[in-house]
Structure 1
Amino acid sequence: MTERKEDQYLYGEIDGKGFIKFVGNATMKNSKTLEDLFEKLFKSDKKEIVLDFEECNYMDSTMLGLIAKTAIKFKKSWGLAIYALNTPNIILTSLKSTGVNKLMEFIEDENLKVVEVKKLETKDYDNKEEKTKHILEAHKTLMGLSDENKEVFKNVVNLLEGELNK
C-alpha cells in the first residue's frame, strides 16, 4: 500500500508561467491557500497558469468552483486560459461533470515536469463567515456553468446563504 501524501500545493515558475502542483486532496479545508495564491498571481505580472494534477487524489466542489472562478477571471481580464497538466481520470471526471473542463485547456508538456517548486504555506480563513462566503461563491460559480449544476448545488447555496443571514 502506498503512503498517503500530505495535502498541499507546490508553486514554481518557468518560462513566464506560474506552475501549481496539487498533491493529495484539494478541498475546502485547504482552498484558502490556493485562493490567496490566485489573488497574488492576478495582482502580479500577466502570466499563464498551469495546474498539475498528477498527484491529486480528489477534488471537492469548493475547489472546482475556485478553479472555475479563477479561470473566468483570468480569461475575462487577461484573455488567458488556465492549463491543466497530467490530469488523472478521477480529477478529469470531476472537471467534466461540473463543466469546469470547458474553462481550461488540457496540455502535455515534458518541459514542465522539471519545474522547481516550493511548498506553499497552508492558510486558513480568519473566521467562519469569511469561509462561508468563499464556499458560497465557489458553488454559485459552479451553478452558473450549467442547468445541471444549478440543480445539484442549489441546496448547498441555500444552506450557506441561510448561514450568512443568521
Structure 2
Amino acid sequence: MSAIKPVFLVDAYSDPVIIRIEGRASFQNSGCVRDFFEQRINEGHARFVVDFQRCDSMDSTFLGVLAGAGLRLRRLNPPGSLVLARIAPRNLELIRNLGLHHLATVDAGDFQMGFGQPAQPLTEPARSALTDARLALEAHENLVMTDEANREKFQDVLAFLKNKVGRK
C-alpha cells in the first residue's frame, strides 16, 4: 500500500499540458483526469504529457481514460499528441499489453520535464455509484477501441458494467 495519497498534479496552461500522477491511479480517482482532458481539449489544447515517475500502480479504468484521451486527440485536425513519460517497468508492461503504445508516445527513459507554473492538484468530486460505473464502462470500451484483443480480456467486466448502467 502506498504511503502517498493519490493525487494528480497539473500544469493546465503549459504546452504541452502536464499531468503528474502521484500514488495509485484507479477507478476511484480517474474521473477528474477524464474531465481535465475533456476541458483542455475543448479549450484547444492538443499536446499532453503524463508523468508516471511517482505512479505506484494503475488499473484498467485509468488506462481506459488515457485511451479515451488518446483516441480523441487522434481525431483532431491536425492530430494532437499524448506522451506517457517516465514509466516504471510494471506500468510499461500494462500499457503495452492493452495497446496504449499505439495511441501515445511511450517514454520509459528519463524524460526531462518540469512544471512552468506551480502544480495544481485535480480534485475528484463526489460521484454516484452509477456515475462511477458509467466512467468505468466508457474507459473499458475505450480499451476495446484501442485494441480489439482487449474485448476478450474485459468481456466479463464489460457485461457487468453494461448491466449495472442498464445498457445492452
> By the TM > 0.5 criterion, same fold?
yes
Shift of 1:113: 3.2
Shift of 1:114: 5.0
Q: Tell me the residue number matched to 1:153.
A: 154
Q: Which amino acid aligns with 1:161?
A: K
Greater helix percent: which structure?
A: 1
Show CA shifts across 1:80-103 (max 9, x none). 120111111111111011001211
Secondary structure at the aligned position of 1:29 is classed as coil
1:29-48 alignment, distance < 5 Å:
29-48=28-47
* Structure 2: unaligned runs, 5 residues or longer: none
TM-score, length-normalised on structure 1?
A: 0.88
Off by >3 Å, runs of 4+ in structure 1: 113-116
1:13-162 alignment, distance < 5 Å:
13=12, 16-78=15-77, 79-107=79-107, 108-110=110-112, 112-115=113-116, 116-125=118-127, 127-162=128-163
Q: Structure 1 pair 43/162, CA: closer, same or farther in 2 (3 Å)?
A: same
Q: Percent identity?
A: 21
The size of the alignment, in residue pairs, is 163
* Structure 1: unaligned runs, 5 residues or longer: none
Query: In angstroms, what is the RMSD of aligned CA positions?
Result: 2.1
TM-score, length-normalised on structure 2?
A: 0.87
